Amino acid sequence: MYNNNQYTKTSQYWRAVRTIIWKDLSIEMRKKTLVSALLIFSVMVTLVFTFALDLDKVTKDNVAVGVLWVTFVFSSTLGMNQTFANEKNQNSLEGMLLSPIDYTAIFVGKFISTYIFVIIVEIIVVPMFYILYGIQLFSPLFLLIVLLGSFGYTLVGTLLASIATRTQAREIMLPILLLPVAMPIIIASVQCSNAILSGAHWGEFSNAFNLVIVYDIIFIGVAIMTFDYLIQE
Amino acid sequence: MRLQLMTVSSLILIILSVYMVLIYAPREIIMGDVQRIFYYHVSSGWIAALAFLVTLITSIMFLSTQNKSYDRVAMSSAEIGVIFTTMNIVSGSIWARPVWNTWWTWDPRLTTATIMWLLYIAYLFLHAGLEGHDRRRHITAVYGIVAFISVPLTFMAIRIWRTIHPVIIGSADPDAEGQFDMTARMTVTLLFTVSTFTVLYFTILWHRVRIQSLFEYMSKLQYQMHND
Amino acid sequence: MLLENSPADTSNYLILGFTILAIISGGYCIYLFNRFSKLKQQVSVIEKSNSIHNKDT
């Protein structure tokens, strides 16, 4: 009847992850609140910067990448607050903790669904920037660094959101916890994107690029090791 | 009482250190009088590191013994460390203005110092924001341990990366601006100021821990009162 | 040499630095002292009302 493979630990793990992702995505597809909020917010931020920094072409090119990352950072933070806030509001977190799954599966599921929302925002924002700022953003290396940088940022954000959601002032606690931890990857991503877009050769931005990758790997490890402990408190 | 003795000694030492810094220490030729800030700039930096080290050790002790006194000391020390780090960053910025011609730059040392500062400010928010259930204090303790990584990183930053920040103890960085060699009188003044700040740190720590105990006692009383 | 002014001018910055350091450290000490007095007062109020409350029950 049931072959043994159906209940191996690995398949159970990934099934739990898929369930969580599917849950978050289907809630979102029905209500459409989160993605629309993120999109409106990022469009607003972009337009405000466009008006505020109505500058000559050269200066505009210089600030464009910074503004792009600011937009990503602000929108992602908004998205990450929602991730665990919904769980808290519905008390579904206890339900998840009581079910017989590996707790890190909760983290991976939450992270992937948040990252999907972040990518959707990026898909809209990057072409918008191309139109408004006129810089060639469709170089594959640039898109790679956007994905890797937001990967790391979403990673630490999801991890810290699980702590922040337990406090009383949870919307303000996440940015407070997140900013110092995320500073290295934001700085490295911005420097790297700037260098890539201004056509620098590999040697000039290899340090920043390596930092992003190392950061991502380190925090995958940190998240997996600590999430069990954090979520049980 | 010993605490009163320490408080009085701290005040006396501070007054003496002001004399040492302003009068006894020699005037640096190139930078002029603003260099005198160096004594307080370096001392507050080292004492901040000491404070965060105390937070690290007491957080570890709290996790292993569950004794709440350790958590109180950890939090008090972190708060004092943030104050000293603020003094460090501000004095550094004021010193930098005439010497580097800018109030701030995103140099490795300044960036890591800012990260360290923000990390411990976040620790203070976290400690205040989590209700004092014992299990939740564990999260704060773990954070206090992990955050310490930023401290040696900040201190080694001038030796790992190329930086504009001067390296006074050890070999000089060719890119550094504001570099100077210390004379004997300067070394004596520096040691005196560091000792003063150490005594000051322990004094304020003791006061702060007392306040924290009193605060937790009051919270307990209020809780009991509301539950009667 | 990076300074445009002669060395004597930097004493303004020294005074600025000392002032701000004094404000930060002095302000923190004053804050601690205020907190201590307020807590002492609150604790004595609660303890008094508790003893009255206990006398009633």
The tens digit of pLDDT for each residue in C23-37 reads 999 999 999 999 999
Tokens describing residue A126:
């990057």
Q: Check B31 against C42: CB less than 8 A apart.
A: no
Mark residue B25 as left, alpha or beta (left: phi above 0; alpha: psi -120 to 50; beta: remaining): beta
HSE-CB of B149 using CA atoms within 13 angstroms: 6
B6 vs B9: CA distance, rounded Å: 5
Q: Who wins on pLDDT, B203 or A195?
A: B203
- Please give, rounded to a whole number of angstroms, the shortest distance from the CA of B129 to a CA of chain A: 5
State how far the Cα of A114 lies from the Cα of A24, in Å rounded to an integer.
Answer: 9
Question: What's the CA gap between A20 and A53, in Å, rounded?
Answer: 41
Q: Which structural domain, as residue segments, surrounds residue B125?
A: 2-168+180-226
Q: Which residues of chain B lie closer than 8 angstroms to C32, CB-CB?
A: 204, 207-208, 211
The rounded percent of chain A whose pLDDT value lies above 90 is 18
Of the ranges A69-83, A169-183, B74-88, B126-140, the best mean pLDDT one:
B74-88
Residues A166, B130: C-beta atoms closer than 8 Å: yes
CA pair distance B76, B214, nearest whole angstrom: 13
Token pair of A32 as six digits: 């459409």
Mean pLDDT computed over A115-140: 84
- Within-domain flag for B173: no
- pLDDT, one tens digit per residue, over A11-57 is 777 888 888 888 878 877 777 778 888 888 888 888 888 788 777 77
Q: Do C39 and B218 touch (CB under 8 A)?
A: yes
pLDDT score of A5: 55
CB of C13 within 8 Å of any CB in chain B?
yes
% pLDDT > 70, chain B:
94
The alpha-carbon gap from C14 to the nearest alpha carbon of chain B, in Å, equals 5
Coil, strand or helix: which one is B32?
Answer: strand
- What total of structural domains would you count in chain B? 1
Pick the closest to residue B126 from C31, A175, C38, A222 (CA basis): A175
Angle in degrees, CA B104, B106, B111, rounded to 5: 105
Distance of CA B8 to CAs B14, B190, B199, B200, C23, Å? 10, 21, 11, 10, 19
Residue C20's pLDDT band, with cuts at 50, 70 and 90, is very high
Residue B175: is its pLDDT beyond 70? no
C38, pLDDT greater than 70: yes
Instruction: Decide if C22 touches B, using CB distance below 8 A.
Output: no
Does residue A182 surpass a pLDDT of 70? yes
Average pLDDT over residues B209-221: 90
Q: Given pLDDT bands bounded at 50, 70 and 90, which one contains residue C1? A: very low
- Check whether B114 has a pLDDT greater than 50: yes
Which of C10, C43, C46 is nearest residue B98 as measured by Cβ atoms? C10
Does residue A214 belong to the interface with chain B, where contact is any CB pair within 8 Å? no
The Cα of B148 is separated from the nearest Cα of chain A by a number of Å equal to 12
**Does residue B22 belong to any structural domain of this protein?**
yes
Q: What is the ipTM of this complex?
A: 0.86
Q: Residue A38 in contact with residue A121, Cβ under 8 Å?
A: yes
CB A108 within 8 A of CB A17: yes
Chain B: give the shortest CA distance to residue A33, in Å.
28
Confidence of residue B81 (pLDDT cuts 50, 70, 90): very high
In this prediction, residues B9-14 reach a mean pLDDT of 92
Residues A193-228: tens digit of each pLDDT: 888 888 778 888 888 898 899 999 999 998 888 887
Give domain status of residue B102, yes or no.
Answer: yes
C23 or C6, which is more confident? C23
Cβ contact (<8 Å) for B130 and A184?
no
Any B CB within 8 A of A221 CB: no
Size of interface B-C (CB pairs under 8 A): 99
- Among A99-103, A158-162, B123-127, B164-168, which is the least confidently predicted range? A99-103
Phi-psi region of A99 (alpha: psi -120 to 50; beta: other; left: phi over 0): beta
- CB distance from C37 to chain B under 8 Å? no
Is the model's pLDDT at C2 over the cut of 60? Answer: no
Indicate whether B88 belongs to any domain.
Answer: yes
> Is A168's Cβ below 8 Å from some Cβ in B?
yes
DSSP 8-state class, residue B149: G
State yes or no: pLDDT of B68 exceeds 80: yes
Cβ–Cβ below 8 Å for C13 and B86 = no
Tokens of A140: 């594959």
Residue of A nearest to B106 (CA): A187
Which residues, in sequence order, are CB contacts of B195 under 8 Å at separation 6+?
Answer: B13
Within a domain: B95: yes
Indicate the pLDDT class of residue B181, thresholds 50, 70 and 90. confident
Alpha carbons B34 and C11: distance in angstroms, whole number: 6
- For the segment B158-173, the average pLDDT, to the nearest whole number, is 76
Q: Do the beta carbons of residue B58 and residue B70 sit within 8 Å? A: yes
Q: Is the pLDDT of residue B167 over 70?
A: yes
Please, where are the H alpha helices in chain A?
A: 9-31, 33-52, 57-90, 92-98, 103-133, 140-164, 170-197, 202-232
> What is the structure's pLDDT at C13?
87
Nearest CB partner across the interface for B222, out of C6, C24, C46: C46
Closest CA to B202 of B54, B91, B75: B54
Find the residue in B nearest to C40 (Cα).
B214
Q: B31 lies in a domain? A: yes
Interface contact B94-C16, CB threshold 8 A: yes
Residue A89 tokens, joined: 């509001």
Percent of chain A with pLDDT over 70: 94
Main-chain dihedrals φ then ψ at residue C23, nearest 5 degrees:
-65, -45
Q: Report which of residues A8 and C15 the model is more confident about.
A: C15
Q: Over chain B, what is the mean pLDDT? A: 88
Averaged over A160-182, what is the pLDDT? 86
Chain B CB contacts of C20 below 8 Å: 90-91, 94
Looking at the domain assignment, is residue B152 inside a domain?
A: yes
- Flag whether C touches A (3+ CB pairs, 8 A cutoff): no
Chains A and B touch, using 3 or more CB pairs below 8 Å? yes
- The set of chains that have 3 or more CB pairs under 8 A with C is B
List the single residue in C16, C18, C39 with the smallest CB-CB distance to B214.
Answer: C39
The whole-number average pLDDT for the span B180-186 is 80
Residue in A168, A169, A177 nearest the CB of B122: A177
CA distance A54 to A114: 33
Tell me, what DSSP letter sits at residue B21? I
Q: Quote the pLDDT of residue A233.
A: 60
Least confident of A66-80, A138-152, B165-179: B165-179
